[in-house]
Amino acid sequence: MTSKPSEQKTGQLVVPGDRIGVIEEFIPDTGTYVRDGVIYSKVIGRVLVDLTHKRVTVHQLAESAKVPVTGSTIVGQVSNAQNETAGVRIFEVGSEKVEGVFQGILHVSDVQMRYVDSMFDVCKAGDILRAKVISEKNMTYHLSTKDKNLGVVYAFCSNCGSLLEPRRQAMHCPKCGRIERRKLASDYGVGLVERRKGEEENEG
Ligand SMILES: [Zn+2]
C-alpha cells in the first residue's frame, strides 16, 4: 500500500503570455491562465508539470528577480573563450542582480562593426564584460558588443591574474609585463571601481 509519489518535471523559463499547453492535456493551476483552450503563463517563472495529476503550474521567480530579455544590457563573466565564440555567465541585467543561471554566448561576428579575426583578441575566461542581448533561444542569450560602451570592463592577465591596464592599442600587465588584446568598453576599469567605492561608503 504505497502511494505513488507524483512524477514531476520542471521545465523551461517562461514569461507572461508564453504558451504552456492545452486544456486537453493539462489542468491549469497556479501562475497560469486559459484563453480559447490554451494555457498561458501569467508570471515570470519555471513551468512545473505534475505528470501524475496532469497539472501544470508556473513557479514564480522572486518578484525582484531580473531576467534578461532581447534588448537588455547585461554584465557577465566570460566562462570560456574559443576562436569563434565566448560563453558568458550573466549576473546582472541593467544594474540589478539576476536570480538563477543565465548563459550568454558572444559570436566573433557580433563583437564590433569591423571584422574581428579571433575571439582571443576580444576577451578571455575570467574577464567581466558588458553586452547587449540580441536574441534568446532555449535559454541561451545571444550577445553583441557592437557599441562603444559595450565590451570588456574588467580584464585579467592570463599569466598572473592582475588587472590589465590599457596602453596604446593593447592591454598591459603592470605586474608581469605581458601584452594582451581585448575589445574594451569605453569606460573600462572605471564603472566597477567607482561602484565599489560607492558600496564601501554605503556600508561604512
Ligand atoms: Zn601579468
35 Cα: distance to centroid of ligand 1 (angstroms) = 59
Q: Which CA distances in Å does 67 have to 13, 15, 55, 64, 181?
A: 10, 9, 25, 10, 31
201 Cα: distance to centroid of ligand 1 (angstroms) = 30
Would you give per-residue pLDDT tens digits along the chain (204 residues)? Answer: 444 455 666 677 888 788 999 999 999 999 898 989 999 988 778 899 988 889 999 987 765 557 888 899 999 999 999 999 999 999 888 877 787 778 999 999 999 999 999 999 999 999 999 999 999 887 789 999 999 999 999 999 999 999 999 998 899 999 999 999 999 999 898 755 444 444 444 443
178 Cα: distance to centroid of ligand 1 (angstroms) = 5
172 Cα: distance to centroid of ligand 1 (angstroms) = 8
Rounded to two decimals, the pTM is: 0.65
123 Cα: distance to centroid of ligand 1 (angstroms) = 15
Nearest Cα to 15, choosing from 4, 28, 35, 31? 31
Instruction: Give buried/exposed letters for 175-199 (b at 16+ CB in 10 A, else e).
Output: eeebebbbbbbeebbebeeeeeeee
Instruction: State residue 168's pLDDT score.
Output: 81
Instruction: State residue 80's pLDDT score.
Output: 96
Given a contact cutoff of 8 angstroms between Cβ atoms, the answer to whether 79 and 89 are in contact is: yes
Cell numbers for 155, please give them. Answer: 580584464
Instruction: State residue 178's pLDDT score.
Output: 96
